[in-house]
Amino acid sequence: MYRTLLVVLAALGVAWGITALLVPDVLAQLYGGTLVGFGRAFTNVGAAIAVGFGLIDWSVRNLQDPSVRRSILIANLVAITLVALVLLVNTAAGTFNVLGWAGALLHAILAAVVFLAVVRAGRG
């Protein structure tokens, strides 16, 4: 489960990050917004972090050490949960359109799956 989950997380992180780096305005429009100056730059920062997480996940997908696996999973769980909360709060506030709800739901599902993997990793 660990390897498959990390491959999926790597693919999602790199795909989202590269897309947000290359066409941030398109993504903003999909979510009902526009980007200017600071917003575009801050989107690029988040996109770079997503690519970084994706590359880390890809590079550690074959690790066997249970404590390192668990640490990687916990870091992903924290990041994914925070993204879900940010999407939830901002969509509820009207900042994002209906795609914000879809993104929050997707991240909540991913967080639940990663949480189960953390629990499983804790059992050895």
The pLDDT of residue 1 is 86
Its pTM surpasses 0.85: yes
Identify the CA nearest to 74 among candidates 106, 20, 24, 119.
119
Q: What's the rounded Cα separation, in Å, for the pair 50 and 68?
A: 20
Contact 84, 102 (CB under 8 A): no
pLDDT in tens, 29-66: 999 999 999 999 999 999 999 999 999 999 999 999 99
Structural domain harbouring 118? 2-122
Residue 124's pLDDT band, with cuts at 50, 70 and 90, is low
Residue 76's pLDDT band, with cuts at 50, 70 and 90, is very high
Count how many domains the chain has.
Answer: 1
Contact 26, 34 (CB under 8 A): no
Q: What's the rounded Cα separation, in Å, for the pair 97 and 32?
A: 5
Give the Cβ contact number of residue 13 at 10 Å: 24
